[in-house]
Amino acid sequence: MKRRTIMTAGIAGAGVFGIMIASAAPPSKTGFDAEIARHGQAMLEEGKKTFRYETFGSEAFWGDALQLHKAIAGEKNGGVGPGVSPKTALSVGLKVDADALPAALKKELAAGKVNLDDPATTIALLKLNAVVGVTAFANPDGSVKSMGIQCAFCHSTVDNSFAPGIGKRLDGWANRDLNVGVIVSLAPNLKPFTDLLGVDVDTVKKVLASWGPGRYDAELDKDGKAFRPDGKQAGTLIPPAFGLAGVNLATWTGFGSVTYWNAYVAGTQMHGAATFVDARFNDKDQYPVSAKSGAGNTRNTPDKATAKLAALHFYQLSMPAPKAPAGSYDKAAFERGKTLFNSTAKCATCHVPPLYTEPGYNLHAPSEIGIDAFQADRSPTHMYRTAPLAGLWAHQKGGFYHDGRFATLPDVVNHYDTQFKLNLSNAQ
């Protein structure tokens, strides 16, 4: 009895401190906790592999149908035309993964002993899986027979640590150098586009040329709107794929979540063997092209994408927004700006920290934010998303908003100052 009393008194004496120690015990490494940990790590690795290297069978479109690999190889290498040299590839925004290069090749590149004007060098890089977002498929004799693309094609870049356009991968970073339109226009066979849109090759090339670096039109194959009413290009800036954990709607106009967009892109933009279902695209008035093509009910057998969506989603949500490098900004000005952001300027009303978008339904009508409805009306939502701002320093090239209409951040602030009558001073 005495011993029990002493033990009880000891526990009582420990109080809250004792409870805190007990609750701070490491999680169990057995049972379902361990299964969750193993599953999470497996999902992360599988998702990374999918993001970087999975074509979803898109080579049937980019290679077999468009014959784009032939334009890259050039006539001297079994293709057509002059071919695409590494210099040309880098100039249109394609990136090279330095970690995929053999040490000997790196030494030769550094010494200037590799011919970067020869398309054969591009083919060699493709065979090494060194061109970010692009995979080549070879014949037994070594010649290239097809090519496909990956998520990383648009949503990865490199840190330029080896040379401009060559370095370590930066997954999730928007490639604002990538000129998708110019690359696609090189394809020897644009008939899949002319047939879908009901226009001639020259018109297709005009549209592709209009986008420019860092832009892409993911609705063209749904509504056929190649240009804005004012004649300007209709594409949007390639968005980053990082910092999206906790964010509800993931596209400029809120089509759907991250995993919705993965299915949309895999099935209707990458043209992979995928399943994508959204009856909203059957609307003949808003989406005459997809209503005819049946894109809103895309089904392929075998389906090479759906089984990959979960891990891909997991990996994407694991990508943090990159922090600005130390010394790259004025810390005192940062603190002053943070105070304004959260108070007088009212930025945090919509860009709620730390997500920097609204938790929940993060969409607004065009009239609310004071801009035209063109891009919003191409979406089933007819609205614009509050874009997450974390990591904004990493994707300023091309401007701000969905179409880059504001060249600088002060332009954005001035717009909202006028729209919401904030009456900010020049100093603010």
What are the pLDDT tens digits along the chain (428 aa)?
A: 444 444 444 444 455 445 544 555 566 678 999 999 999 999 999 999 999 999 999 999 999 999 999 999 999 999 999 999 999 999 999 999 999 999 999 999 999 999 999 999 999 999 999 999 999 999 998 889 999 999 999 999 999 999 999 999 999 999 999 999 999 999 999 999 999 999 999 999 999 999 999 999 999 999 999 999 999 999 999 999 999 999 999 899 999 999 999 999 999 999 999 999 999 999 999 999 999 999 999 999 999 999 999 999 999 999 999 999 999 999 999 999 999 999 999 999 999 999 999 999 999 999 999 999 999 999 999 999 999 999 999 999 999 999 999 999 999 999 999 999 999 999 99
Q: Does the bond joining 213 to the residue before it have cis omega, within 30 degrees of 0?
A: no
Report yes or no: 120 and 189 within 8 Å, Cβ to Cβ: no
CA–CA distance from 59 to each of 126, 146, 148, 173, 189 (Å)? Answer: 14, 6, 4, 24, 14
Token readout for 6 is: 């002493």
- Within 46-90, strands assigned E span none
Give the Cα separation of 227 and 230 in Å (integer): 8
The SS3 call for residue 138 is strand
Give the Cα separation of 428 and 424 in Å (integer): 6
